[in-house]
Amino acid sequence: MGFAKGSISLSPSQDIPMLLQVLHAQFITHDQLRDFGLLKGYEVKSDSFNWRVRRLVENGLLERHSVPGVTPSYFSAQK
C-alpha cells in the first residue's frame, strides 16, 4: 500500500501515545519524553525514539524549541 507524497503514517502503539504525552504536558524536554516512553513501554530503544521524534518534527506534528538551561542534553548530544 502506498502513501500520498508528503503524508505520514502514524503508529497507534508508538506515535499516538507520544503525541498524547506532549499534548497533555504542553511542554516537555527530550529526556522527559524519552523517560515517559520507557516507563509506559511504547518506546524502548533510544535510536528508534530519536528517529520517531525527528520524523514527527519534520512533518510538523511536534515543534522543537531551544530553552537554554532546560534542554542542554539534546543539543550537546547532536554535536
Give per-10-residue mean pLDDT for the chain (79 aa): 74 91 89 90 87 92 80 50
Q: Residue 2 has what pLDDT? A: 65
φ/ψ (deg, to 5) at 61: -90, -20
pTM, two decimal places: 0.74
CA pair distance 31, 52, nearest whole angstrom: 14
Q: Residue 35 has what pLDDT? A: 92
φ/ψ (deg, to 5) at 10: -95, 135
